[in-house]
Amino acid sequence: MFTVLLSAFILTFHNVTVRILFSEHLVLGLFVLGGYVKPDLQNSLLLMFMRMLLVVPLMASLAFKLYPSAGKELRDLFRRERTDVLLQALGCGVLMFVYIALLYIAIGLIPTGIAMTLFFTYPVFTALLAWRFFGERPTLFRWLVMAIILGGGVLTIPQSSAAYSSDIITNGIFASIGSGVVYAFYKVMAQKCLEKFHPVPFTWISFTCTLLFSGVSLLFWPPSSTQLDWTPLWIGSIFSGLVSFIGHTFNNVGIRMIGATKASIVGASSPALTVLVAWVTISETLNLIQSLGILIVTLGIALLSGEGFVRKRSTS
């Protein structure tokens, strides 16, 4: 359980790093950093590409050690009878590319904790999609919890101010929630694909597709500024890539140790942890209502994740 919690904590530093790259902040109360690129689509693609240049090779080196048969499974994907699995895996890669791009934009526009909290409303959309595609009709308890999560998300929405215009807030909200919706589609498609494909090579394919699609996209939508400060961008990208790799590794180890359901319950702490880390590192503060909304969303995610665990224990 500690391993999954540590994973969630480590991954918050990736989100905070992205926020710093997009906007200037006083870091740890000591020095001013950030604001190297504008929070738009082109620059989100650039940061994603730079991050994946590090993460994909690192994940490949780990994947083939954790699962020696990964190479054989990847080659088997190109057999005619495995075409459906290949298309599903590639589809998941496209969805990962889209949801990360939207999440980067959201983190650049609105406070990190709020962006992540709105993104973490994705279990609501996942449950609805699972009902549509797998016939898993939500129980009354699940409907109530989904309403709680959405209600908490509404409480976190920032108001217009000198720092955040109504347009910035609107775009940030749509990008956060849109990222969550796309991630819900990713989860549902991944569930289908993982019935026939091992999670280790599957995860590597998703990250590789994100690297390729972000690289190709930059050919059509190059960065909006021709004069970029590459040194801090590379430092930030390398750091975010390393913490992403370490965080995902700890998460996978934790899932193996305690199971996916328990890991999901512990992982529900991510929005609250993001708020805490953003407050300590870059002094991002939220008002009382927004803090309450984040706690409500965190509780709702934990309840939704724990429903299956409780049901399983009651039937065993």
Q: Which residues pair with 25 in a beta bridge?
A: 33
Q: CA 133 → CA 127, 136, 137, 185, distances in Å?
A: 10, 8, 10, 10
Rounded Cα gap, residues 269 and 235, in angstroms: 28
Give the residue extent of every domain in the chain. Answer: 1-314
All residues at 6 or more sequence positions from 252 whose CB lies less than 8 Å from its CB, including other chains:
66, 199
Q: What is the pTM of this model?
A: 0.85
For residue 31, give the H/E element and its range.
strand 31-33
pLDDT tens digit sequence for 259-273: 555 666 666 678 888
Amino acid at 221: W
Rounded Cα gap, residues 235 and 33, in angstroms: 12
**What mean pLDDT is reported for the chain?**
82
pLDDT tens digit sequence for 3-20: 777 888 888 888 889 899
Q: Give the length of the chain.
A: 316
- Report CA 102 to chain centroid distance, whole Å: 10
| Tally of CA atoms within 13 A in the half-sphere of 238 that contains its CB | 6
pLDDT tens digit sequence for 170-226: 888 899 999 989 988 888 888 788 778 787 788 888 889 999 999 999 988 888 666
Identify which has the larger pLDDT, 247 or 100.
100
Per-residue pLDDT at 309 exceeds 60: no
